[in-house]
Structure 1
């Protein structure tokens, strides 16, 4: 007898493989037009919907000897591409590292935006205190 396969059985592909362009779902993080908190919310929503949240939430990956590691690694590479593909050029150069996994890149981005929160708040407060009506194009913009 030959090899019998069920013709009604179809291989289910992981949803991550059907994303054509991440930028249609998650905008480019630049820290100005798109803030870090907005980007994180959009990215996590997208990651949850495509069943890859575990690649950025700190879940321990399978061991390299695990039979699921190859599949996990391929999916992680796609998530890493999503991360890199939604960063401004300036941020990309600060985050890009060889042999990285998605969670490591995610953490590097988090550190860029959250580790200097105090100094960023001080800069914004200084900017606010020095804001004058004369420097603004209209009263509405000033307000």
Structure 2
């Protein structure tokens, strides 16, 4: 995967062309459903296609943050956009659980991941009883 540089003087960033994320990710993630694996697959694929996957998952050995040569303002705009995409593809119950002031897309992504990984462990324990 190529390293995405954020530079406002370069060409238009593809993520900025997305007017309605629900046209690309039609699954609504909720606390009580088993759509998490499908939602993750659709979301990460879309993030790859729009060159913002690094806002959710770091490249090998790299932290998720703008490098000195990146345009910090554009990076922050894109991160806020990815965060809004997350918020727009979850139901209200889950949204109340994951929204935090001044959060990054990566932090929110990990909160969701932790919720569903904890739920998988709980379900496994229930089935063994």
Q: What is the TM-score of this pair, normalised by structure 2? A: 0.79
Between Structure 1 and Structure 2, how many residues are aligned?
116
1:49 shift after superposition: 0.5
The residue that corresponds to 1:78 in the other structure is 81
CA contact (8 A) 1:28 1:34 kept: no
Q: Deviations over 1:13-33 (max 9, x none)?
A: 100111111111112112555
- Counterpart CA distance in 2 for 1:34 and 1:49 is 25
Matched position secondary structure for 1:115: helix
Instruction: Measure how far apart 1:34 and its partner are.
Output: 5.6
SS at match of 2:125: helix
Residue 38 of structure 1 corresponds to which residue in structure 2? 38
Query: How far apart, CA to CA, are the structure 2 residues paired with 1:97 and 1:113?
Result: 18
The match for 1:21 is 20
Aligned counterpart, 1:57: 57
Moved over 2 A (4+): 31-34
- Identify which of structures 1 and 2 has the higher relative contact order when contacts are C-alpha pairs closer than 8 Å and 6+ apart: 2
CA distance in 2, matches of 1:33, 1:118: 15
CA RMSD of aligned residues (A): 2.3
Structure-2 separation of matches of 1:14 and 1:91: 29
| Structure 1 runs not aligned, ≥5 long | 1-9, 130-143
Q: For the residues of structure 2 that align with 1:34 and 1:13, how far apart are their CA atoms?
A: 36
Cα distance in 2 for partners of 1:107, 1:97 equals 12
Task: Please report the TM-score for the alignment, with normalisation by the length of structure 1.
Answer: 0.72
Show structure 2 runs of 5+ residues with no match. Answer: 1-8
- Once the two structures are superposed, the pairs formed by residues 1-143 of structure 1 within 5 Å of their partners are 12-26=11-25, 27-31=27-31, 35-58=35-58, 59-62=63-66, 68-123=71-126, 125=127
